[in-house]
Amino acid sequence: MQKVITRRKKTIRDIEVQGKRVLVRADLNVPLNEDGSIADDTRIRASLPTIRYLCERGARVILCSHLDRPQGVVVERLRLALVANRLSLLLDRPVLALQDCIGPEVESAVAGMNAGDIVLLENLRFHPEERADDPAFAESLASLADLYVNDAFAASHRSHASIVGVPEHLQAVAGLLLAKEIDTFTRILENPDRPFAAVIGGAKVSDKLGVLENIIRRVDLLIIGGGMAATFLASLGYGVGASSVETDRLDDVRRISAKTSELGVRLLLPRDVVVAGRLDSGVSARVVPVTAIPDDMIIADIGPATASEFCQELTGCRTVVWNGPMGVFEVPEFAEGTRRVAATLANLTGTTVIGGGSTVDAVIRFKLADAMTHVSTGGGAALTMLAGKSLPGVEVLDDVEEEGP
C-alpha cells in the first residue's frame, strides 16, 4: 500500500535555533468580519506553540503569511497589522507588523532584531510573485533569515514561493503544527486502530474523488453524506429530485461502490433525507425516504433514521476521519445530521480526526472542537493527504538522517 510520507522530516526540535534569524511560514489566513475584525483566530492560536518555542530559545522570529486573495495588489483591509495585534495579545509580547515583506525597510527592521523579538512581514500575496513561485522573490525572502520553518500546513499543498522556493536557499524544517498534522494523517492512514471509518460529505464527488479512491483501501467503514450523496443515490437509480447530480461522475461512483464490496468495506448511504424547495432558513422542509424524493425538492441534510444508523455504526469504531458535512449545516433547519455526527465523534473512545474546511467550521459552531483528537487547520492540504499524495511544502524540507544498521 502506498505510503503518504516516505521520509521523516526534521523539525525545529532537531536543530539549534538560538541567535538565529528564523523565517517562519505560518498560516495566519483568518476569516474576517465585514468590519475588518478577526472572526475566528483558530489559525493564529494554532501557530503559537512554534512561535513560543523559538522565542524561548533565543531565536529572532520573522513571521510571514498570506491573508485572503488580494490578487497581487495591496488591499488595505487585508494588511496583517490586525493579526500582529492579536498575536501580541496571545503571546503577551510585542509583534511588529512591517509594511512589506521584502525590500530595504524590511531588511533594516530585521537587522535591528534582538533574541526573542518577533516581526510579521506584510501579506505575501500583495506580491504576484508569491503565487507564481518567482525565484527572485523567494531568494529575497530567504535573504532575511538563517533558517526556514514551515508551519503552514494549510498552504503546503501550494507550490508558492514562500512554501517551496525559500527552502532552496536555507536549511528548512517543519514547525510543531506542521509536524503534528503530518504525523496525525500519516498515522491514521498507515496504522489506524480498527475498526477505522471515514465519513465523507460535502457538495461534490469530484472534490473528493481522490480521497474516496485512496481511503477505501484503508478503512473498514465508509459513510457518505452531504450533497455528494445525491450522486451516489442517482448511481443506484434513485430519483433525487432537484438535487445537483454530477452525471459525469456516475461511473466513478459505481466503480468506487463496487470496489468497497470487493474489498469488504461497508458502504453506508442515506436511507432518509431532509428535503426543501430552497436551501434557505425559514423554508418548509420535511423528511422523506430516499425512495420518495419529490421532483421539485433538494436534499438538504441526512434524515433522522440515517443519522441514527450512522452514529450507531460510528460508536463501535476506534478511528474515524471526517471530511465534509452531512448537510447545509449553516442553515439551522438543515444542521441536525451534521450536529449528531459531530456529537457522536466528540464522545467516541478512540481517535477522531476532523479533516479541515467546512467540517472544522461545523465542529467549532457546535462547540465540540476541543472534544476531538485532532482538528486540522488545512482544507486542501488535508484532502491531498487523505488522497495519499505528498505535499510540495513538506517534500522540500530537510530529511532526518536515518540511522545505519
The percentage of residues in the chain with a pLDDT greater than 70, rounded to a whole number, is: 98
Active site residues: 43, 204, 357, 380
* CA distances for 161 relative to 38, 132, 135, angstroms: 26, 7, 7
Q: Residue 250: what pLDDT?
A: 97
Mean pLDDT computed over 320-336: 97
Beta bridge partners of 217: none
Q: Is the confidence at residue 4, as pLDDT, over 50? A: no
Q: Which of 259-263, 302-306, 342-346, 354-358 has the lowest average pLDDT?
A: 354-358
* CA distances for 27 relative to 89, 155, 196, angstroms: 18, 7, 30
How far, in Å, CA of 296 to CA of 187, rounded? 44
Mean pLDDT computed over 6-35: 94
Q: What is the pLDDT of residues 134-149, one digit of tens each?
A: 999 999 999 999 999 9
Mean pLDDT computed over 342-371: 94
Q: Residue 402: what pLDDT?
A: 59
Q: Residue 143: what pLDDT?
A: 98
Question: 305 is written with which cell numbers?
Answer: 433514521
218 Cβ partners below 8 Å, 6+ apart? 1, 189, 192, 196
Angle between helices 304-315 and 336-346 (to 10 degrees): 10
Confidence of residue 1 (pLDDT cuts 50, 70, 90): very low
Mean pLDDT computed over 233-238: 97
Residue type, 192: P
Q: What is the pLDDT of residues 141-198, one digit of tens each?
A: 999 999 999 999 999 999 999 999 999 999 999 999 999 999 999 999 999 999 999 9
- Phi/psi at 286 (5° precision): -150, 165
Question: 193 is written with which cell numbers?
Answer: 486502530
Q: What is the residue-averaged pLDDT of the chain?
A: 95
* Phi-psi region at 355: left, alpha or beta (left = phi > 0; alpha = psi -120 to 50): alpha
Mean pLDDT computed over 286-310: 98
How far, in Å, CA of 304 to CA of 354, rounded? 22
How far, in Å, CA of 207 to CA of 217, rounded? 18
Q: Residue 88: what pLDDT?
A: 98
Q: Is the confidence at residue 234, as pLDDT, over 70? A: yes
Peptide bond before residue 167 is cis, with ω within 30 degrees of 0: no
Q: Is the confidence at residue 5, as pLDDT, over 50? A: no
CA angle 173, 176, 178 (to 5 degrees): 70
Q: Are 224 and 273 in contact (CB under 8 A)?
A: no
> In the chain, what are the domains?
12-180+391-395 (3.40.50.1260), 194-349 (3.40.50.1260)
pTM (2 decimals)?
0.92
Q: Is the confidence at residue 2, as pLDDT, over 70? A: no
The percentage of residues in the chain with a pLDDT greater than 90, rounded to a whole number, is: 95
Q: Residue 405: what pLDDT?
A: 44
Selection from 47, 260, 25, 50 nearest residue 161 by Cα: 25
